[in-house]
Structure 1
Amino acid sequence: MDLHQLFVFTKVVEHKSFSKAAEDIFLSQSTVSSHIQSLERTLNVNLFDRVGREIILTPSGERLYQWALKLLLLKDQAMLDLKEGVTELRGMIRIGASSVPGQFMIPKMVKSFRVQYPKATFHINQSSSKNVADRVLNGSVDFGILGEKYENEKLCYIPLLKENLVLITSKESGLVGPVSIQQLLSYPFIMRNSDSGTNSLIEKFLKKNQISKDQMNIVAYTENGQSLIQFVLQNIGIAIISEMAAREYYDRNLLTIHEINEFNEERYFYLVYNLNKTQSMLSKLFIENAHQLLN
């Protein structure tokens, strides 16, 4: 058993597929299969059950996966401690991101990180804040960056950035100045889906003002923040979004930003990771330096 075999094994586990693991680490599928078979012969255990087209970890495979992550992390730590080839640390960092972080925060963070670790590559999975938290919990991403906290004893949240939500309208909307919550009820409204952090904050504000969604004139729900902005630009409706996302369009004089009276809700964007997941050295370095990467 060697470290390379363990590395290949972890990739098969993470992708739940020999072919996808082979593609990820630039090996042939037959080579990946050969490494797994060699591991199984060495340890005299079956690591996977083959059920039709699916592969499922055996109990022995699950135990080996946890040891493999620790051993591979120890190897990376040894390299770092010896200060030999630090910039040669390489590997994939898998990040789950909600809409705004995926568009406006992570590109900047990746650019800064790759200055020191140019061999790092990234896989960004963008979805709603709730889906990001779920992916962190099930281990399909190394960590997430999102705009809402979903409490779970396995999740650790690091506040990264504070911002406000704002109302946006098209240049043709006719809406002027700060608006009240009652004024919003008479305008067609574009909403994000229920799993987004923005939507969660809006619902809290409505509840605080004893207003139900049924009282609003909602004309469309959308999964995507960019799609929501396009609805507003076409004067189909108004929307409440991240000020960070709105600022680019406002600066180009494409839409108008309004304050909402008594809407003083601020929100944080968080980095969230699973306390039970052993991080690679690259992921650990990214997490530890997340604040600096934004500055």
Structure 2
Amino acid sequence: MLLDQVNLNQLRVFQEVFKTNSMTMAAKNLHLTQSGVSQHIRSLEETLDVQLFDRINQRLIPTNKGKELYTNISRGLSGIEDALWGLKDDKQNLKGTVTIGMPIEFGNNEIIPLLCEFSKNFPFIKYRLYLDFAEVFNQKLLNGDIDFAFVDQFKMDRRIHLEQIYSENLELCISPELLDNKKIKNEKKFYESLPYVEYQQGQPVLGRWFEQHLGNKNLNLDVKATVMDVQGLSKFIVRGMGAGILPHHLYDRLIKRGHEIIRFEGSGKPLVNQISLAYIENRSFDTSSSTLLNWLVDRLKQSATN
């Protein structure tokens, strides 16, 4: 069997190199030497007779075969990990409270369901969750008020380490009734003629969209309401209060439910929102926090590649 020729450590090393896109970082995370990591990858490629990474300008780029292997082995390795925890019965010993920050929509749709799944194996871990903006978590991380956070794009303090784990397209949407037969033009004057709804004062998300599509984020916008919840914002949009930014999955869901919403194409290149894991670089995590953090990152990256 081909499996007899593959070392489980090789698959674990491959998984970590794929997640970090770096042999140096993978070596650090796995407490191995960089040459040891390189040897594991080279040996796995020779055994499988496939190239798993392209080496371009000192960067590792997963090949299609590498992506396929990562998707197929990740669930298996995670299942082995869960089985081993079950045998050791260490789940009875992992206790304490893990404090996590997250954006509202991403937290409700992605993190909270994963926490419910994780709790089946670790029933004595408790959670304290904050749903807010990245700028709030920036300070909470520095103050030690939270263990780690998931944040939208925001210039965090340099002491905070960021690891990108998820991405989503952001769409500027509007109810047809607000256009009033206006011809859509990707022009400053046209956009300034419309009403808007936003997540925060100062229009940071709208500003990013206009900077992406017009090269100018300083438009004079008539913002009718601000609400920090994307579900609330979507209700404003659907009911004709103003144009606003929605993640693509929510826009798609509203269309499937029969709501009439127009999505602006802009310049044609979508605005991408990156979700990153944020934590203090040299902070010491207890076993419960580190176990949860690593498990969440694995699951989220699996989801992103599927």
TM range (shorter): 0.5 to 0.7
CA distance in structure 2 between the partners assigned to 1:231 and 1:281 by the alignment: 43
Given candidates 205, 209, 213, the residue that maps to 2:215 is 209
Deviation (angstroms), 1:144 = 0.6
Letter in 1 for 2:298: Q
SS at match of 1:289: helix
Instruction: Please tell me whether the aligned partners of residues 191 and 239 of structure 1 are also in contact (alpha carbons under 8 angstroms).
Output: yes
1:152-204 residue CA offsets vs partner (Å, 9 max, x unmatched): 23211121111110022236445799862443322111122148973563364
Aligned partner of 1:272 in structure 2 is: 278
The alpha-carbon deviation at position 291 of structure 1 amounts to 3.1
Distance 2:206 2:114 in 1: 25
Quote the residue 1:149 is aligned against: 154
| Among candidates 82, 91, 96, match of residue 91 of structure 1 | 96
Q: With CA pairs under 8 Å and 6+ residues apart, which has the higher RCO, 1 or 2?
A: 1
Stretches (4+) displaced over 6 A: 175-178
Question: 1:86: Cα distance to partner?
Answer: 1.5
How is 1:138-287 mapped onto 2 (pairs within 5 angstroms)? 138-170=143-175, 172-174=177-179, 180-182=186-188, 183-194=190-201, 198-199=205-206, 201-202=208-209, 204-205=211-212, 209-214=215-220, 216-262=221-267, 263-287=269-293
Residue among 120, 141, 145 paired with 1:115: 120
SS of alignment partner, residue 279 of structure 1: coil
Contact 1:139 1:277 in 2 (8 A): no
Residue 211 of structure 1, CA deviation:
4.9
Alpha carbons of structure 1 residues 181 and 128: separation in structure 2 relative to 1, 3 Å = farther
User: For 1:188 and 1:232, how far apart are their aligned partners in 2?
Assistant: 10
Check whether the contact 2:138–2:157 (CA below 8 A) recurs between aligned residues: no
Q: What corresponds to 1:125 in structure 2?
A: 130
Question: C-alpha deviations, 1:14-63, integer Å up to 9, x for none?
Answer: xxxxxxxxxxxxxxxxxxxxxxxxxxxxxxxxxxxxxxxxxxxxxxxxxx
Aligned length, in residue pairs = 214
Distance across 1 between alignment mates of 2:178 and 2:147: 43
Gaps spanning 5+ residues in structure 1: where? Answer: 1-79
Does the 8 A contact of 2:152 with 2:276 survive in 1?
yes
The root-mean-square deviation of aligned C-alpha atoms, in Å, is 3.0
Equivalent pair of 1:168/1:257 in contact (CA under 8 Å)? yes
* Cα distance in 2 for residues equivalent to 1:143 and 1:195: 26
Are the counterparts in 2 of residues 128 and 197 from structure 1 also a CA contact under 8 Å? no
The TM-score normalised by the length of structure 2 is: 0.60
Of 281, 288, 292, the match for 2:294 = 288
Task: Using structure 1 for the length normalisation, give the TM-score.
Answer: 0.62
Partner residue of 2:66? none
The answer (yes or no) to whether the contact 2:199–2:227 under 8 Å persists in 1 is: yes
Q: Separation in 1 of the partners of 2:185 and 2:294?
A: 41
CA 1:196/1:236 → structure 2, altered by over 3 Å: closer, same or farther? closer
Percent of matched pairs sharing the same residue = 16
